[in-house]
Amino acid sequence: MAGSAGGQLGFNATCLFVGAVSNIVGIIPYHFYDLTEDKHRHIIEELKKRVQLKESDNENGEPAVSKTEAKMPAVQ
């Protein structure tokens, strides 16, 4: 059964509106997120350290450092 032309138009308009609003709401956090190049560089260095620690754990079968030493400081 086919719907009326007005019903299809309303459905299409609703889908368009919901999609547009969703995109706008999804963009809002980017306005408040302040990731500078220095912060990004610091995050990458910390991730590389974590990978090295994990690889050394896998090679030796035991942790290279204690769990408290392995905790990384928060990025500020």
Check residue 66 and give its pLDDT.
55
> Residue 44: what pLDDT?
96
* pTM of this structure: 0.44
pLDDT at site 39: 94
CA distance linking residue 31 with residue 27, whole number of Å:
7
What local confidence, expressed as pLDDT, does residue 1 receive?
Answer: 45
**Measured CA angle at 23 (ends 38, 15), to 5 deg:** 165
d(CA 50, CA 45): 9
In the prediction, which pLDDT does 75 show? 58
Mean pLDDT by 10 residues, the chain (76 residues): 79 96 93 90 95 82 57 59
